Amino acid sequence: MAIFLTKDSRVLVQGMTGAEGTRHTARMLAAGTDIVAGVTPGKGGRCVDFGEREVPVFGSVAEAVSETGADVSVIFVPPRFTAAAVEEAVQAEVPLCVVITEGVPVHDAVRFRALANGRTRIIGPNCPGLISPGQSSAGIIPADITSAGRIGLVSKSGTLTYQLMYELRDLGFSTAVGIGGDPVIGTTHIDCLRAFQDDPGTDAIVMIGEIGGDAEERAAAYIAANVTKPVVAYVAGFTAPEGKTMGHAGAIVSGSSGTAQAKKEALEAVGVRVGRTPSETARLMRSVLSRAAT
Amino acid sequence: MDLYEYQAKELFGRHGIPVPAGRTAATPAEAREIAAGLGAPVVIKAQVKTGGRGKAGGIRPAAGPVAAEAEADRVIGMDIKGHIARRVLVEAATVPFEEYYAAFLVDRAEGGFLAMVSSQGGMEIEELAATDPDALVKLPIDPVTGVDADTAKLLAAKAGLPEQAAPVLEKLWRVLVAEDALLVEVNPLICTTDQRIVALDGKVTLDDNAAFRHGWDDYGERTDSLEDRARAKGLNYVKLDGTVGVIGNGAGLVMSTLDVVAGAGAGPANFLDIGGGASAQVMADGLEIILADPDVRSVLVNVFGGITACDAVANGIVTALELLGERGHRRPIVVRLDGNNAEVGRRILSDARHPAVRQVATMDGAAEMAARLAAGA
């Protein structure tokens, strides 16, 4: 089992004919993803040959959905066209829309989030997407650094996701979700915690956070009230100075709020063990799982 | 990107929000000239992107041009919480009858927009929220319908602001939307003795991601700092005050690397994210910026090879060091490669036999070595 994305997911790629779209579509296919369609306005009617499969290109998401039954969209279009692309997917009632694009204006994210409300789950923007190893990949997470297993992972950061997936590759993952580091995102830590708690294929959860906002504090409160599966966490950015954006648009300590220390304390207060380094976090997960097994 | 008060007020003026007459001065003589032109008592206000200017003595009244020159002389060059006031805003003094607070902002937690309005303005909003939370009216704003005249009237009434404040609130919302701002804040928004509503201060944070919709180059301040040099090369760099230079791929991994370096007992000298690709040219640009920092005593390159496997990253580092030539020899460079093809990558690096490079397989171990080398051990 997995969350949000399984071997039965039928994936379409918006922006598939662009350089990034083509490159990552080939990678997703290699990871076992059932890619059923590409969408590029004005380029409908042709096919792109990926060797193992020819993927038809449609001029609109609505057309692609009605022709192929696609139920996941992955978006690789440039920032200025991203809002329109998401709105198109929402209007075509695609249940899951994964926005890889970095640099989407926050106002656009607020608007498409409001538009999608209850109809489409949006993951991102500015995220690596999600992967259910051995089943399907929607986004850019490398498929060959880990294996299928029973750990769920949710993270604001792409490379820290990869680091943890790699360190725990022998145990493997049900699903790893990169929710993105922007100030406003479609799917939160809490959404993923809820789904992992409900997923019979997930035994334990790794949660990766970073400075900025209070999503980790909210997640801690949610864990205390709703999550019975073991959770270990990692938080990045203890040494970040106040008022500086650290790479991710949302990674900023404002005054005394959004600090890594506050997030760590909130998580530890509800019994979540927080690693000091990514490697220590991986070790904590191992000990949690071996304790659960005995 | 945060704007200076004078830039925020220029934006307000363009959107029809009343602000006091005034201009910026970089020298005391200019301040005198502006004050003479305004022909009334003025206020000299330090232009720094931080709060607490008043308490620090960065806001000073002046009765006329001569006093304006003297006060500007005091304020220009003043250090307010590490921010140097290079300019002052010389403004016609405007006496408040009442002081309010008004802001529209992106609410991260809810993923929406929020209005915050209070009839108790003038003090720091965090202080108001702590001492008198009921006096601060918070209203979520529908991103699709926004703030119309009726919503603005409701906001003003709820917060206890006079009716004539409503149109100003509506315009303030327009600033947020039209300028792609993450925050527009007026504190204080005042009512004068003759019942006019005026924005006496202004704080605006623009969304860097929306620059393509706007002509924001005007706001860029060009300096020769390492941060600006890095930005010109498209690098994501933040200067810190330690001695271990840090390069990595991915914002989260780099933040994590800084923490691990600090945990090993050394201070990181910078944040530098070269992104997922980690090409030779970007690596060379990154190393060049870091080695240009005189505080740096050792360098830690921390790369996880995912989409770009470690052999490609290692070739990138070798080429980058060739591009740097002699400059790459002066300080030790600790490299940690992990992920796809890590062993091949490590072999490429060790075969290159660069005198400054040493490799450690784990992130924690690499941070410890970089910290030790920075300490001169």
CA pair distance A58, A39, nearest whole angstrom: 5
Tell whether A114 and A155 lie within a shared domain. no
ipTM: 0.90
Q: Could you give the residue numbers annotated as active site of A?
A: 248
Give the pLDDT band (50/70/90) at residue B227. confident
Tell whether A172 and A249 lie within a shared domain. yes
B249 in a known ligand binding site: yes
Quick one: closest CA in A to B273, which residue? A247
Closest CA to A137 of A65, A1, A49, A34: A34
- The average pLDDT across A74-103 equals 97
Query: Does residue A3 form part of some domain?
Result: no
Give the pLDDT band (50/70/90) at residue B218. low
B94 in a known ligand binding site: yes
Report CA Rg, chain B: 26
Tell whether A51 and A162 lie within a shared domain. no
The residues, ordered by sequence, that sit 6+ positions from A97 with a Cβ below 8 Å of its Cβ are A72, A73, A75, A86, A89, A90, A116, A120, A121, A122, A123, A186
Tell whether A281 and A154 lie within a shared domain. yes
- Using one digit for the tens of pLDDT, what is the confidence trace for A184-203? 999 999 999 999 999 999 99
Are B256 and A111 a contacting pair at CB < 8 A? no
- Using one digit for the tens of pLDDT, what is the confidence trace for B290-341? 999 999 999 999 999 877 788 888 888 898 888 888 888 889 999 999 988 8
Residue B222: pLDDT over 60 = no
Average pLDDT over chain A reads 94
Q: Considering the candidates B101, B170, B179, B288, report the single residue annotated as catalytic.
A: B101
Residue among A107, A162, A213 minimizing CB distance to B304: A162
Residue B50: pLDDT over 70 = yes
Query: Does residue A129 form part of some domain?
Result: no
Query: Does residue A191 form part of some domain?
Result: yes
For chain B, the domains span: 21-92, 96-217, 226-374
Domain limits at A79? 10-123
Quick one: closest CA in A to B306, which residue? A142
Tell whether A176 and A59 lie within a shared domain. no
A60-64, B165-169, B225-229: lowest mean pLDDT where? B225-229
Are A181 and B252 a contacting pair at CB < 8 A? yes
- Chain A residues 126-155 within an 8 A CB cutoff of chain B: 140-142, 144-145, 155
pLDDT value for B223: 61
pLDDT value for B220: 62
* 3-state SS, residue B118: strand
Q: Is B185 a catalytic residue?
A: yes
Query: Does residue A133 form part of some domain?
Result: no
pLDDT value for B224: 62
Domains identified in chain A, total number:
2
- Chain A residues 203-262 within an 8 A CB cutoff of chain B: 208, 210-215, 218, 234, 236-241, 244-251, 255, 260
What SS3 string covers A236-264?
ECCCCCECCCCCCCCCCEECCECCHHHHH
pLDDT value for B226: 84
Q: Is B368 a catalytic residue?
A: no
Tell whether A118 and A151 lie within a shared domain. no
- Using one digit for the tens of pLDDT, what is the confidence trace for A140-185? 999 989 999 999 999 999 999 999 999 999 999 999 999 999 999 9
pLDDT value for B313: 84
CATH of the domain at A40: 3.40.50.720
Tell whether A232 and A170 lie within a shared domain. yes
pLDDT value for B305: 84
Tokens describing residue B185: 């804040």
Residues of chain B contacting A161 with CB distance shorter than 8 Å: 252
pLDDT value for B280: 76
- The average pLDDT across B142-152 equals 95
* 3-state SS, residue A25: helix
Measure B60 CA to nearest chain A CA, in Å.
Answer: 25
For the annotated binding site of A for substrate, the residues are 162
Closest CA to A3 of A138, A189, A202: A202
Tokens describing residue B10: 């220029």
Closest CA to B264 of B233, B300, B219: B300
- The average pLDDT across A62-76 equals 98
Are B252 and A239 a contacting pair at CB < 8 A? no
Report CA Rg, chain A: 19
Q: H/E element holding B238?
A: strand B236-239
Query: Does residue A83 form part of some domain?
Result: yes
CA pair distance B357, B119, nearest whole angstrom: 62
Residue A233 pairs with which residues in a beta bridge? A207, A274
CA dist A71 to A5, A28, A90, A206, B5, Å? 10, 16, 11, 27, 48
* 3-state SS, residue B206: strand
CA pair distance A266, A263, nearest whole angstrom: 5
Closest CA to B135 of B121, B125, B120: B120
The third-level CATH classification (topology) of the domain covering B96-217 is D-amino Acid Aminotransferase; Chain A, domain 1 (3.30.470)
Tell whether A181 and A282 lie within a shared domain. yes
Query: Does residue A46 form part of some domain?
Result: yes
Measure A278 CA to nearest chain B CA, in Å.
Answer: 8
Residue among B209, B236, B262 minimizing CB distance to A238: B262
CATH of the domain at A222: 3.40.50.261
Residue B106: pLDDT over 60 = yes
For the annotated binding site of A for CoA, the residues are 17-20, 43, 100-102
Final residue in a domain of this structure, among A123, A155, A181: A123
pLDDT value for B54: 87
Give the pLDDT band (50/70/90) at residue A15. very high
Closest CA to A165 of A193, A124, A137: A137
Residue A256: pLDDT over 80 = no
Measure B143 CA to nearest chain A CA, in Å.
Answer: 6
Residues of chain B contacting A110 with CB distance shorter than 8 Å: 106, 111-113, 143
Query: Does residue A137 form part of some domain?
Result: no
Tell whether A162 and A284 lie within a shared domain. yes
Measure B32 CA to nearest chain A CA, in Å.
Answer: 34
Closest CA to B230 of B176, B278, B186, B273: B273
- Chain A residues 15-54 within an 8 A CB cutoff of chain B: 27
Are A166 and B207 a contacting pair at CB < 8 A? no
CATH architecture of B21-92: 2-Layer Sandwich (3.30)
Residue among B209, B256, B362 minimizing CB distance to A236: B256
Query: Does residue A134 form part of some domain?
Result: no
Please state the φ and ψ torsions of residue A158, each to the nearest 5 degrees: -70, -60
CA pair distance B72, B301, nearest whole angstrom: 47
Q: CATH number of the domain at B226-374, please?
A: 3.40.50.261
Residue B229: pLDDT over 90 = no
Prediction pTM value: 0.92
